[in-house]
Amino acid sequence: MQNIDITKAWFQSLENQNKDTPHIVVGYGSLLSKQSRDRYSNIRSFPLPLTVRKWERSWVTRSLDEKQTYVGAYPNHHRSFNGQAFPTNIDNQLKKREQDYKFTQLKLEDLEFKSLLNERQFDKLQAKEDW
């Protein structure tokens, strides 16, 4: 899919979303998997690829009981990581899925997808309050 098609589909899903879902979640790790999102959360929106600047992903914990490890994200002005943005609601199902993580509001200027967006689309994103 061409960049123009991706951004058009993403903005269409943003405009069609219910007004009661004011959040845009920036995800990485298992949230990049459509199967995982479908199975364990109510995120049904179309993802938009982006780079999160001034943050890095790092191992945060290992659970011997669950036999898995977890990757988190930390502020670091010298790093960046790739992820996806999803218009959604931070509902109880998503909170339960991400219960071992802390939701942190990001600054729009730290999200790099301007190369995918035209000026009107970027201005529309700047109007969103919750990231």
> What CATH number corresponds to the domain at position 114?
3.10.490
The answer as to whether 131 is a domain residue is no
Q: How far is CA 9 from the centre of its chain?
A: 16
Q: Across-strand partners of 52?
A: 81, 111
Burial of 26 (0-12, 13-18, 19+ CB in 10 A): buried
Residue 124 pLDDT > 50: yes
Record the pTM.
0.70
**Could you read off the pLDDT of 25-80 as tens digits, one per residue?**
898 888 888 888 888 887 877 788 889 999 999 887 766 777 777 788 999 999 99
Give the range of the structural domain holding residue 116, as residue numbers without chain letter. 3-126
Q: Report the 10 Å Cβ neighbour count for 117.
A: 18
d(CA 25, CA 90): 8
